[in-house]
Amino acid sequence: MIRFGLRLSTRGGRESLVRLVVMALAVSVGVAMLLLTLGTINGLGKQNARGAWMATTPSVEVGYPNHGSPFSSATTSSTHSPIWWFISSQQFQSQLIVRVDVAATGPRALVTPGIPHLPGPGQFYASPALARLLRTTPAIELGNRFAGTEIGTIGSSALPSPNDLVIVIGQSARSLSKVSGAGEITSFVTSSSDGGPDTAGTTGLQTILAVLALVLFFPVLVFIGAAMRLSAARREQRLAAIRLAGATMRQVTVIAMVEALVAAIAGVAIGFCLYFITGPALVHVPFAGQPLEPGDLSIGVIDVMVAAIGVPLAAAVVARIALRRVHVSPLGTSRRVTPRPPRATRVIPLVVGIAELAYFVSVGRPGSSNGQIEGYVLGFFLIMFGLVLAGPWLTMQGSKIMARRTSRVSVLLAGRRLSDNPRGAFRAVSGLILAIFVTSVSVGVISTILTDHGSSSSNTLASKTVTDQFAFNPNNSVATVKPSVLSSIQSIRGVSGVTVVYVAPGAMKIDGPVPHINNLGGDLQYGVVSCAQLDKTPALGKCRAGASYAALGDDVAFMPITKSVTVAASTTWPNAHPTKGLTTLPVQLIAVATNGSASTIEDVETVLDRNFTFQGMTGLFGDIDAQKSQLLSELQTTSEVVILASLLIAGCSLAVAMAAGVSERRRPFSLMRLSGAPLGVLQRMVALETAGPLLVIAIASALTGFVASDLFLRSQLQLTLRPPGLSYYLIVGGGLFGALVMIASTLPLLDRATRPESARIE
C-alpha cells in the first residue's frame, strides 16, 4: 500500500503532481523559516558566549551599581595565577563602552580572551571599533578617559559583535587591589547565564531573545500545518474513489500519510536549500542590537533532526488527523457534522487574567518579590492562554455580526464561512496572536520605561546635565572632591554650573518634609546641597528663596539615573541646616550643567571618568544607564523584528489557507461565476475571510498586550503606558501590508480556479 501511495503521489497525473509540488513548496518555506529561527537562536547564543567573559566577577561584597551582589568568580578551573579584575561601563554618545581593568599577580597570569597577553600598567587593548573611535575622536572627549598606550586590538573571538566598544586596561596589582569592587579571579565565565553583573548587557538577554524566538515557532508551525492541509478536499475525493474500489479505511490512511510524507520530505530538502541561500542575509539583522558574525548563524545536529525528521513526521500526523475530521466512505467524502460552536465560557481565562492585573492596580500588588513574580506570571499566562482559547469564539461572534445584516454577497459569504468554522479560521492566525501579544507587552513596557527615564536626545535640562554618581549605598561614597577637579570641570567651555551633592548627616535639621519624586520607597539618606551651586544646575530643582542649603530627596540625590527627572526640575527642596561644612561630608553626586553640546558633555564625562575612574558612574541626568538602555533598546528591536516576522509568516499561512479554501469550494464558486457573479465578489469574499481575521487578531492581541503592559506598569512601577515610537507603527503597518500583499498574490488563483470553463470541464 505504501508503494501504491508513492505511485499515486508521484505519477497520479498532472493534478496530483501540481498538488504535491505546491505542498512541497509551502512546506519548504516553513522549514526554511524554522531553520532560520533555530539558526538565529544559535547565533545569538554564540554571540553571547563570546562576550560571556565580561560577566566574570570577583567574589567580593561591593556596593557599586555594577556589582550589586556577590557572584561566583568563574565557572571553569584554571592553572594560571589569578589576576586582579575590575569591570565597569561608560557611555560615549549613547554607546556603551565596557572597561576592564586587569593586573597580573604572577608570571603565568590568566589572560583575558581575545588578546595575546595581559597589558601591563599603562597599556591597553581596545576592540577594533573602539580603536577606530579613539583615533577619530579628540582625546579630550574620549581618549583621556583611558590613560596608557594602545598595544593591540581585541580579537573578534572575544567580542559579541564587531561594533562592540571594549577596552582592557593594564594596572598594577597594587593600585587595582585598592579599588573597591576589584578582586582576584582565576578563570572566566564561559556562559553569560553563569555570570552575574552583566556589564556588557548580555546576561539574560539570550534567554529573553530565545523566548521571543520561540514565540516565532508558533506561526511557523501553524504555517507548516496549513501547507499540509492544502487541497485536502480534492485529496479526500480521490481517497473516496479508492475506497469505492475496495480499499479499507486503514489503507486509505496509509495512502494519505504517504502522500503527506512525500511532500514533506521534498519540502524539507528544498527548505534546507532556501535556508542556506537566505541565511547569509540574516546576519545583518541586529537582533541583539548588533549584527551577528557571518559564521554565527548555524544549525546543530538536533536542529537538523527537528527539521528533517520532525517536520515529515508532523506532516504525517496532520494528514492522519485531517482524515479523522471527514468521513471517507465508498460513496464519497462528507465533512462531519459542523462542530459545536465555541462557547462564551472560553473568554473566562482572558477576563480573569486581566482582572488579576487590574486588581493589582486597584488594591495593590503582592508584598513579597516571589509573590509578585507568581502573581504577574499567572496573570500573563492566563491572558495568553485566554487569548488562544477565546480566539475562535471572538472570531465567530465577529463574523456573525458581519453576516447578520449585510446585503453584500461577499460580506455574507465571508461571514458565513468564518462563523461556520471559527476554529479553522482562527487556526491560520493563532500563531500570530501570541507573537503579537508578547511583543506588544515587551514594546509597551520598554518604550514606557525608556520614555519615563528621559533620553539624552531630548532637549531638556536633564539632557544637558551630566552626573557622576558614586554609589547607591552612602557607605561607598567618595570622601572628598578636590577643588582642582571642580575648577577643571568649570573651565570646560559650555559648562554653566557644578553642584556637589553631599550625604546629609542623620541629625541634620530640615524645614518640612522632603518630596519623594519617584515613590520608589526605600530608606536612603537625604542629600544636602549648597543653594549657590544648585541655582546653576536647575535640572536638580531649586532652593526656597533666600535659603543657603537645601535637602534633596534620596531618590534624586542617590538614584538620578533611574527615574523621571522632569519632576525634579520643578521641585522646590526644603531648607536644610547642616551643623558642619559641606566639604567635610561624603560626596554622593556631582552634577554638571552644560550647554548640551555633544563635545562639552563628552569633555565633562572624560574629566569625571579620569578623576573618578573606579568610583563613579557618569551619564546624563535621568538618562537610564548605558547598560540598561542598550539592553532595552536591543529587546525593543528584537520585539519589532519578531512582530514583523510573525506578521509575514501569518500572511504566508493565510495565503496557503486561502488557496486551500478556494480549492475546496471550487465548484460552487465557478458555478456562481458561471451564473454571472462578478469575480470581484469572490475576490472581496476571500479577502475578507482571510485578511479580516488577520487584521482583527493583530489589533486585538496588540491592544490586549498594551492593556496588560499598562496594568503591569501601573501596579509594579507606578507608570502609565506611553505609546510606542513611530518605528513600532511602521513595523506593524509594514508587516500587515506585507501579509496583505501575500494574500493578494493568491487572488489570481481564484480567477483561474473558478473560471466558467473550469466548471464546464468538471
> Can you give the binding site for another protein, defined by CB under 8 A?
334-335, 338, 405-409, 412-413, 416-417, 420, 665, 667-668, 671-678, 681, 756-757, 760
- Write down the least CB distance from residue 409 to another protein, Å: 5
Using the minimum distance from each CB to another protein, give the nearer residue, 629 or 690.
Answer: 690
Provide the pairing of β-strand 95-104 with 165-170.
parallel
Using the minimum distance from each CB to another protein, give the nearer residue, 364 or 680.
Answer: 680
Using the minimum distance from each CB to another protein, give the nearer residue, 682 or 736.
Answer: 682
Classified as helix, coil or strand, 229 is coil
- Write down the least CB distance from residue 261 to another protein, Å: 30
Q: What are phi and psi of 191, to 5 degrees?
A: -130, 130
Using the minimum distance from each CB to another protein, give the nearer residue, 63 or 341.
Answer: 341
Using the minimum distance from each CB to another protein, give the nearer residue, 11 or 405.
Answer: 405
Handedness of CA 708, 709, 710, 713 (dihedral sign): positive
Handedness of CA 583, 584, 590, 591 (dihedral sign): negative
Sequential DSSP letters for 175-209: HHHTSTT-EEESS--SSGGG-SS-TTS-TTHHHHH
Classified as helix, coil or strand, 78 is coil
Give the separation between CA 621 and CA 593, rounded to whole angstroms: 10
Using the minimum distance from each CB to another protein, give the nearer residue, 231 or 627.
Answer: 231
Classified as helix, coil or strand, 661 is helix
Give the separation between CA 217 and CA 211, rounded to whole angstroms: 10
- Write down the least CB distance from residue 656 to another protein, Å: 20
Classified as helix, coil or strand, 575 is strand
- Write down the least CB distance from residue 659 to another protein, Å: 18
Classified as helix, coil or strand, 79 is coil
What element of type H or E holds 15?
helix 14-51
Contact 155, 111 (CB under 8 A): no
Give the separation between CA 644 and CA 21, rounded to whole angstroms: 28
Using the minimum distance from each CB to another protein, give the nearer residue, 226 or 413.
Answer: 413
- Write down the least CB distance from residue 12 to another protein, Å: 22
Using the minimum distance from each CB to another protein, give the nearer residue, 521 or 676.
Answer: 676
C-alpha grid cell, residue 419: 462563523
Contact 47, 39 (CB under 8 A): no
Using the minimum distance from each CB to another protein, give the nearer residue, 421 or 627.
Answer: 421
Q: Which of 474, 480, 471, 461 is nearest to 620 (CA)?
A: 461
292 DSSP assignment: P
- Write down the least CB distance from residue 412 to another protein, Å: 7
Give the separation between CA 575 and CA 377, rounded to whole angstroms: 45
List, in sequence order, every beta strand (DSSP E) within 79-135: 83-92, 95-104, 123-126
- Write down the least CB distance from residue 667 to another protein, Å: 4
- Write down the least CB distance from residue 653 to another protein, Å: 21
Handedness of CA 519, 520, 526, 529 (dihedral sign): negative
Give the separation between CA 194 and CA 191, rounded to whole angstroms: 5
Using the minimum distance from each CB to another protein, give the nearer residue, 567 or 674.
Answer: 674
- Write down the least CB distance from residue 423 to another protein, Å: 15
- Write down the least CB distance from residue 7 to another protein, Å: 28
Using the minimum distance from each CB to another protein, give the nearer residue, 672 or 707.
Answer: 672
Give the separation between CA 263 and CA 269, rounded to whole angstroms: 10
Give the separation between CA 301 and CA 321, rounded to whole angstroms: 29
Give the separation between CA 471 and CA 468, rounded to whole angstroms: 9
Using the minimum distance from each CB to another protein, give the nearer residue, 425 or 590.
Answer: 425
339 DSSP assignment: P
Using the minimum distance from each CB to another protein, give the nearer residue, 40 or 419.
Answer: 419
Using the minimum distance from each CB to another protein, give the nearer residue, 162 or 678.
Answer: 678
To the nearest 10 degrees (0 to 180), the angle between helices 14-51 and 249-282 is 40
Contact 195, 189 (CB under 8 A): yes
Contact 502, 641 (CB under 8 A): no
Number of other residues whose CB lies within 10 A of the CB of residue 274: 18
Handedness of CA 227, 231, 236, 239 (dihedral sign): negative
- Write down the least CB distance from residue 668 to another protein, Å: 5
Give the separation between CA 411 and CA 722, rounded to whole angstroms: 36
Give the separation between CA 496 and CA 481, rounded to whole angstroms: 18
Contact 279, 292 (CB under 8 A): no
Residue 335 pairs in a beta bridge with 326
- Write down the least CB distance from residue 198 to another protein, Å: 55
- Write down the least CB distance from residue 416 to another protein, Å: 4
Using the minimum distance from each CB to another protein, give the nearer residue, 304 or 681.
Answer: 681
- Write down the least CB distance from residue 696 to another protein, Å: 19
- Write down the least CB distance from residue 754 to another protein, Å: 12
- Write down the least CB distance from residue 243 to another protein, Å: 19
Using the minimum distance from each CB to another protein, give the nearer residue, 143 or 756.
Answer: 756
